[in-house]
Every structure is written in structure tokens, then in C-alpha cells.
Structure 1
């Protein structure tokens, strides 16, 4: 009897896992999820707690008598400030928006020739970028301040926005993603008469969408938490984070408003991350390319 060819035999690989194993895995994941969500749950509940529950020991996770008095206290404090609250919001939007957009564009434009072109000193430049990732912000704070002072842009929005353009992590991330794009695709575009900028914006950037969306998330979170205290001296140029931290440092009488401040500080980056995360997952599932 002739044996069937190995090319005609089709077998489906199935995971041999019992119901007990699935249940155990679900329980472990649920426990891990609860621990990860516990800090966020406490932040939300603390914002709704009256002062007597905020000072109770041991602290309560769940609020007993929800109240919006903390939000009212924060509104009163911000209304009495000689700088309007809307001014702090505008400063944060300008710094975060232009800083994130500029960093994504600059990092992408710098990463494209490093990933897809050959020129003298290419490896040395990239090694310098990788080396820059080893230095923390505290190490480069003094050189950054000196450069900003020499440029004459201290105490302006540019003092916070321009340094955001030059983070080495963004360039490194974009270069690694751009190297996955087939060279044959770019050569085909050149044969069709497309220029480098047309190739960059029409082919390269759409295919590395997961990279620059991830980069936008990181940069947004970094700039959102920036108080600008090192470069901005004028109160009218301070971002929202500075005003919120000043309220939080007001002592026990402002603990209610401080709890609301913590909620605001955490809510905006989390919301931005959730919005961008869905786009990243959708793009990653449809952007696989092979040479």
C-alpha cells in the first residue's frame, strides 16, 4: 500500500491544555490585572473622598461617602490665582503639542538616511546616538541650560520645546523600524520618478506608523510631566503641571485638592495612551512586509 506523500498530509496544531489549566491561567491573569489597576483605583477614589476619609488610618481603598468638594476646592484655588487657569492649559498644550510633533518629525527625518542611505561616518553617528541613551537628564541638565542661554531663548517656550526635538531614543527607535522596509520597494519608487521626500512621506512614514505612534506616546508623557522650572521663570509661561504641583504642596488643608491634582496628572497621559494604543495594535497587524 502506497503511503501518502508528506506534502499531502495536513495537520492542525492544537494547544493541548486542560480546562483546569485555562482556569488557573485566567485566575493568575486576573490577580495580576487587579494589582496593576489598584493604584489607579485608589487615585480615583481619593479624589472623591472627603477630608476625614483622606486622613483615616489605615487608609480606605473605596470611598464611603463620595463628594465633589475636592473638585470645588481645586476650582476655587485656581480661580483665585493671579494667572488664569486657562493660561496654564494653553502653555501645556503649546509645549506638549509642538514638542511632540517636532520630535517625531526630526527623529524620522534623521533616522531615514541612517537606515536607508550610505555615507561616510554613518556608523559613528549612530554609535553616538546609542551612547547618548546612557546619560540621564541630570547629567545633561547643565550643558542643556548653557546651550539654551547661549541661544538667547531662555524663559521662552522654545527653551522647553527645542530640547524635546533632540531625544536620542526617538531616532534610535525610528531607525530600527525603517530598516525593516524592503529596499526593493524604495528602488521601485525611485524608478517611477519619486523624490526622496516623496518616498519618505508617502512610503516610509505610513509603513512605520507603529514606531512614530509609540514615540508620540513617550514624548507626550515626558512633556506632559515637564514643569519647565529649569528654563521658565515667568509665571505666565508656566505649564499646568507647575500650577498643580504648587497646589499639591500646600499642606494638609489642600489634601483634597491635591488628590484631584493627582487624578488630572494621571488621567490625561492614560487617555492619550489608550487612544494611540488601539491604532498601534491595528497597524501592527496589517503592516507586515517581506522583501
Structure 2
């Protein structure tokens, strides 16, 4: 398993808003916003390969390492059941997702390509819901994370988490599976998590219960993240950002019927404004509404 270059401060490109890119730019049908069923046929796998190829090119032009997330944000039990996948089928899909990225890595021609097993929230990434018990969260996420480990993923990244309890559970499940783990929270327009917790308080709580390797923030525009970045050593723990293209709130995005792609150059400038507050920021990619154009702008290529 390769070391994580982002922990040594090396620049690392990661990918963008896979689901919104495939739906709005490539006509993909993703029921329940689930991309993992694309792995079931040649056309779907070709769509995914083409998507990842754009980020391989960006990393090459930027002279950076690359980290690619599996298309498995919805490939856990509750979400999988809604699209007809039982436990055995989900395990196979999660393993196949890692396998596809092994193929991408083999053909990339880059010195460092990390394969990140992507975990999403059990509930809605925009709505906090009831407070999550960490042990229940660990048990829920364990089968997916174990499948990543079996298939040879390099780490686990949990994206769009809305509270500390689920984050603690994901960390426990990843540690039990022997994988490094990154926790990524989302925030509202005021910089607070959907459950009302301050970003610094959430990071501090998760670290106190068992530290992940690093933290990220995703699925929010940089202008929404900025209010969260008050003083405190916890800011040193944020290594990655995957921001939305749009300045709209989660509620507005949920109600939207068309893609808000924002402006790639404006997004890059908004990222630049955050850098003085995030001394260890080294991993950059995108989230909803972004594609390779936005990520290329972040990297100046």
C-alpha cells in the first residue's frame, strides 16, 4: 500500500462531481443518485473510464499525484436496496469498483495513483436526520469498507458526512479493516454542519474519539466553507477540499431541475481565498456541478 502523499504536503489531484457530470453531460440514468450500477455493463464501465481519464490528464499536466474515488457513494445497504442490490451484490459492486480503478491506475502512466474507496452517508447528505450512534455507524459501513480492503483499495474516504457520530463510526470500521481513512464533512451556507455543529467542534470530537488520517470538506461552495474557518489548531487537520460549483444552498440545489455549473475561474479564485486559513491543504477536486474543467482551473492547467 503506497504512503499517502497528501500527508507529506505533496500536491494531489482528485476527481470532481461524478454523478452530476454523468447525469447532465453524458445522459447517464442514475436512480437514487447511485453510480455504482454502471459497473454492471460495458457501456457503464466505459463511461466511468472516460470520466476518470480526464483527471489522469489533469494530474499529468499539473505534475501532481492523483487520487481517484470509486463510484460507490451510494453503494451501502440502505441505498443499495433501493436499486435492487442485496448484500452479496453490493459486495461484488464495491470490489468491482476498486478493480476498475486498478485498471485505470495501470494505464495512467503516473508515478502515484491512489485508489480511494468512497463511502457516503447512510442518510441524506444534505439533511442531518437523527443523531447517529458511532457503533451502529461502524456496523453499517463495515461491509462496504471490508470489500474495499479485499479488493486492494489504498484508503477509505467518507464524503458528505453531516455529523460527528457517523464519522467516528466510519473511522472505527476503516481501522478494523486495516485501511487509512479520511473524513469529509459538508457544511451549510453559514459554515456549520447540517446538524448545527461547528466544523471545528466536529473535527475535534472525531479526533478525540479516534483520529482519521485527515479531514476534508466537500459538497459546499468555498464561500460557504469560509465562515467555518475560525482560529484553532483543528484547521491543520484539513488536507482536502472538494467544493460545489454552485453558490446555492443545499436546499436550493435539491429543488433545482437544471445543473448549476458556476464558473470554473471564479471557483478557483474562491479556493485561493481559503488557502491562508488551511496550511496543510494539498488535495483538491470538486463535488456537485463540477467536472474536469473546474478541477483543471483549480490546478491552473
- TM normalised by structure 1 equals 0.22
Structure showing the higher helix proportion among its residues: 1
If asked which structure has higher relative contact order (CA below 8 Å, sep 6+), I would say 1
- TM normalised by structure 2 equals 0.21
Structure showing the higher strand proportion among its residues: 2
